[in-house]
Amino acid sequence: MIQRIQTLFLGLVAFIMTLNLFSTVWKADTAEKSILLTPFFLSEKTIAGEEYHGVIYIALLIILIIIISIFSITRFKNRSLQLKLGLGNSVLLCLVVLAFYIVIGKGKTMITADAITHYDPGFFFPLIAIVLNVVANFFIRKDEKLVKSVDRLR
């Protein structure tokens, strides 16, 4: 049913990843260069101009996560499919974190060691979404056990 607690958690996963799609992930600043990472691009601003490095695959992964979360909410009658979708979503969320880590490593090679770097909220959104997804899977599994136990009594 749509009013189950896992629906709330899956909805929060979709909401947080939508926020992540439009937020910055990482920034680095030096006197001569500024680097900004979003899910769509890695921007390198210098005095000479601005250069963009495309990382659109991260945005596509995030969009896929949002779609799977919403689709999983609508599959409330098929709990085994919901568990499989939740597992797939967890894998995709881990891939997003890994992609952020790799692209930030690439960004760190573009700057000097004296740069001021900081992680923005967009870096932490997938980590929060992983936790929410795991909690949703826990409640889906709990519902599945309850239904199986009632079936045994019949």
10 vs 48, more confident: 10
Please determine, for residue 46, whether its predicted confidence score (pLDDT) is greater than 90. no
pTM: 0.90
Q: Are strands 26-29 and 50-54 parallel, antiparallel or unpaired?
A: unpaired
Which CATH number is associated with domain 5-144? 1.20.140.150
Instruction: Give the pLDDT score at 10.
Output: 94
Domain ranges for the chain:
5-144
d(CA 6, CA 31): 48
